[in-house]
Amino acid sequence: QVAYDTGDYYHSIAWLEEAVGLFRLSYGSWNPEDRSSLEDALDHLAFSYFMAGNISHALSLSREFLHYDPGNQRVVKNVAKYEKLLEMGTAASAGPLRRPNSTRLQSRDAYEELCQRPGGQVGLAGGCHGPPPHRCPPSHALLGPLSPQPAPEHLPHLSCSYETNGSPYLLLQPAKKEVVWSRPYVALYHDFISDAEAETIKGLAGPWLQRSVVASGEKQQKAEYRISKSAWLKDTADPVVRALEQRIAAVTGLDLRPPYAEYLQVVNYGLGGHYEPHFDHATSRKSPLYRMKSGNRIATIMIYLSAVEAGGSTAFIYANFSVPVVKNAALFWWNLRRNGDGDDDTLHAGCPVLAGDKWVANKWIHEHGQEFRRLCSADPQD
């Protein structure tokens, strides 16, 4: 529906074809509302083909629509219009469907290929076992089609371990860390949050959810390439939120005290919800992120509050791998390099949710306050 409403008939046709096919297969076992849903799908699909230049197929679908609703005068007029266009020969011949040319969306092929990869367990889905360090199995990340980097089993820096990070907070219950990728550095902390904590955070955020916005110049606005709802929670909202903030500080070793980090953002992606390729860090000094006067976003930690039946992976476009959703785990990566420049390899996307409901909690940490926690490198290019 989002693709249809924005005139992206390349993608709306694919989704509507699937819907129409499923309804046809269930012929004879419909409920009344199912029948109207088939008509609705046929109507939208016919118009999508018309706008894409395939008049004959639009006519065929419209005639099929009239088989179920012969009294619909709007579709009757559409049929007459399509027949006239074909008789006059003024309709352009239908060529292959072409993807919209969007300068905003980079590396579309890699994005779509990564998001179409089948889901599965990430590494040791139950955490690391036995004495550390461990080599992670090669199923921890899903490679894209271009494979610019070696296969996971050939990457020597990937490992699983129990981590205390020098924090007393983690001495009795170390974090279960899996290094998912090395360049950019991406780590997955298994069992980072409990089921009860996740439900509490979703419950706190639920009444405040609103359509998510994105940075646009010096302002923030809604965009069709980010389809979700979100809410912000202060650490004073509930003891669970405060405990989660302490846990994040312990595993990252970073300072989360205001204004060095943003409030916890809770995001809900429903069916079809997604966030197309983007950077978490600001790429312009005019970005609203700098209003906090605490520098750019140096790091991201994203906590999966729910499981997803299909879709919803986090895809790193230029690095060419994706990480499926692992309930109660937290995904961490550095947005900035040690020299302060943005790391282009962190271009990432939230793949569309194909079945189920995806909940995440994001914590964005800024560079000010971290000067003695993440030191610069002797190499100015690092």
Q: Each residue of 252-291: pLDDT tens digit?
A: 999 999 999 999 999 999 988 899 899 999 998 888 888 8
Q: Which CATH number fits domain 159-212+226-366: 2.60.40.3080, 3.40.50.410, 2.40.50.140, 2.60.120.620?
A: 2.60.120.620
Residues 71 and 98: their CA atoms lie apart, in Å, by 34
Residue 156 confidence (pLDDT)? 53
Q: Each residue of 59-76: pLDDT tens digit?
A: 999 999 999 889 999 999
Phi-psi region of 140 (alpha: psi -120 to 50; beta: other; left: phi over 0): alpha
Residues 320 and 183: their CA atoms lie apart, in Å, by 11
Q: Which residues, including other chains, have CB under 8 Å from residue 83's CB and lie 6 or more apart?
A: 59
In this structure, the number of other CB atoms found within 10 A of the CB of residue 373 comes to 14
Please report which helix (H) or strand (E) contains residue 181, including its range: strand 175-181
Q: Each residue of 104-117: pLDDT tens digit?
A: 555 778 888 899 87
Q: Each residue of 149-164: pLDDT tens digit?
A: 445 545 556 889 999 9
Q: Which long-range contacts (CB under 8 A, 24 or more apart) does 11-16 make?
A: 11/99, 12/44, 12/48, 13/45, 13/48, 13/49, 13/52, 13/97, 16/41, 16/44, 16/45, 16/48
Q: Each residue of 304-336: pLDDT tens digit?
A: 999 999 999 999 999 999 999 999 999 999 999
Give me the mean pLDDT over the 186-208 stretch: 97
Token pair of 241 as six digits: 């939120």
pLDDT at 119 over 80: no
- Percent of the chain at pLDDT above 70? 78
Candidates 350, 364, 336; CA nearest to 275 is: 350
pLDDT at 143 over 60: no
- For the structural domain made of 2-93, what CATH number should be given? 1.25.40.10
Q: What is the DSSP string of 41-61?
A: HHHHHHHHHHHTT-HHHHHHH
Backbone angles phi, psi at 31, to 5 degrees: -90, 160
Residues 232 and 255: their CA atoms lie apart, in Å, by 19
Residue 141 confidence (pLDDT)? 59
Q: Each residue of 19-48: pLDDT tens digit?
A: 888 888 775 454 545 455 788 889 999 999
Please report which helix (H) or strand (E) contains residue 269, including its range: strand 264-269
Candidates 223, 227, 218; CA nearest to 289 is: 218
Q: Which residue has the tokens 């040791």?
A: 124
Residues 214 and 315: their CA atoms lie apart, in Å, by 18
CATH 1.25.40.10 domain range(s) in the chain: 2-93
Q: Which residue has the tokens 């609703």?
A: 69
Strand partners, 134: 160
Q: Which value, to the nearest 10 degrees, does the dihedral of the CA atoms of residues 249, 366, 111, 270 take? A: 70
CATH 2.60.120.620 domain range(s) in the chain: 159-212+226-366
